Structure 1
């Protein structure tokens, strides 16, 4: 894979709070400063949340645009994409509004349902489910295809990937689809030890996903949620096998170590240099991820 561009995707904030990591950017001013710093540090593309996933439609779009109009003015064409609302795949109105206002190349799709839990006082998992129906997923893919936006597909569980592969086999997976393999670390989406979700961040877990992807040639990334990607074998394995990295403070959590997004980027760049894979710029990212807007 030497010489093949490596996409370094940085999820800069997510639902994380300052108590989880004081470097998480919150509010337009911090998001602008962090995004620009991350692009300068070498980020290929940024994923960002706004103030609340409870916002919908125009309100959600306006909250994103308060930061991203300024960022795009400083970095015309800089790649980024927003998240979904709490209605998941059933609500993409804010994506359409943002795309019409300043342009997008990618958008989220969560093709399945997953349980999120934490351990109670007795050590028993308790929590709830984040759900997306098959009808919602189908509508989501259809909208993104019509808008020429590449789906950034979250894979929380192997069943999610089976659904994606069915669309791929049917020839209906939108152009620009990227498979983001989410491995569950010891804290999951919490700041407390939890049973997390999905497969653990191990060599064999990644090989299982790669077995499923065999023959598809779909671009893919690795990330560890509620842990530290760089304390696993996954980044080196991904780089060696032609995959890409999804890093940043949305997924990272450690009760003691509190890196910045830029620290994570520098760690990714060191591995890329060692492997001889140049970090992808805008044009390389659009090409490698087969964006319909390339």
Structure 2
């Protein structure tokens, strides 16, 4: 088996009230990204702290944190979240400038899903639909292809994976893709569950859908603690990779991102799986070299 790619999603919408260790300011993101890479993470994902800004300002905010990382670690694999336009719609246009700046990993969330909280009766509540139409997905893939970005593919629901495979079968999926299977606890991302639960049968269902597709894949537990769950070991036994970090962590501790990466490395050692460096991860994924790389 290939070495394990450990990706760390270091912040997301997690607040310092929920975990004081979550990095939010650019300087915090820089320090945390470098520390996580030193601990064994091959890929770093983060959000920025300026919701609602335009594409140009968002790009600069990402690079404010990433330039020092790339200065210290030119091999760093960093990527953003999606960009919400002023009307609330999803956009991937910020990837164009980030590719020109030398970033090698992009993002595409190939589907739509309800994300919300629970009300006083425990029912899912809220009107937010995280929406990526097929046209938006196609545009995101075009941007990744044109910018030589390997798309990081978030699979919230089985339909996300089937859409991905439609592009793959047509020979239109950009090079360097990585599939991340998101399993949701009852807590989910914002409080309400989505998708499949973190069980062996759910993992095997996804792997059945993948079939003969050899795109590298990882598992993540949204609202849980991946490395404390049996799912992580099952994935390692089946040749998978690990997606950890404070964005999705929902355990009963307040760990650092470095803690979570260190635990992932230890788990890989238990299963006799070596851990990939960023350079090895780039080779495993087949990341192309972009115009800024």
Cα displacement string for residues 91-150 of structure 1 (whole angstroms, at most 9, x for unaligned residues): 22322212222x111111011110012221122211221111111111111111111111
| Matched residue, 1:25 | 23
Paired with 2:151 and 2:172, the residues of 1 have a C-alpha distance of 12
Deviation, 1:84, is 0.8
Which range is displaced more, 158-167 or 50-59?
50-59
1:25–1:134 distance in 2 versus 1, CA, 3 Å: same
Report SS of the residue matched to 1:151.
strand
Deviation, 1:20, is 1.5
| Matched residue, 2:283 | 287
| Matched residue, 1:70 | 68
| Matched residue, 2:108 | 109
| Matched residue, 1:125 | 124
RMSD: 1.6
| Matched residue, 2:165 | 165
- Map 1:215-230; keep pairs closer than 5 Å: 215-230=212-227
Paired with 1:204 and 1:89, the residues of 2 have a C-alpha distance of 34
Q: 1:41 aligns with which of 39, 42, 67?
A: 39
Which range is displaced more, 89-98 or 211-220?
89-98
| Matched residue, 2:198 | 201
Q: Unpaired runs of 5+ in structure 1?
A: none
Contact preservation (8 Å) 2:48, 2:62:
yes
Paired with 1:282 and 1:31, the residues of 2 have a C-alpha distance of 18
Deviation, 1:74, is 1.6
| Matched residue, 2:271 | 275
Q: Unpaired runs of 5+ in structure 2?
A: none
Paired with 2:3 and 2:177, the residues of 1 have a C-alpha distance of 17
Deviation, 1:168, is 1.2
Contact preservation (8 Å) 1:152, 1:180:
yes
Q: TM-score, normalised by structure 2?
A: 0.93
| Matched residue, 2:54 | 56
1:240 aligns with 2:237: yes
Report SS of the residue matched to 1:199.
coil
Cα displacement string for residues 183-207 of structure 1 (whole angstroms, at most 9, x for unaligned residues): 11232122xxx43111011111111
Cα displacement string for residues 229-267 of structure 1 (whole angstroms, at most 9, x for unaligned residues): 12321111111111100000011023x311111111111
Paired with 1:8 and 1:158, the residues of 2 have a C-alpha distance of 22
What is the total number of aligned residue pairs between the two structures? 287
Q: TM-score, normalised by structure 1?
A: 0.93
Which range is displaced more, 122-131 or 245-254?
122-131
Deviation, 1:90, is 4.8
Deviation, 1:77, is 2.3
| Matched residue, 1:94 | 94
- Map 1:138-217; keep pairs closer than 5 Å: 138-190=138-190, 194-217=191-214
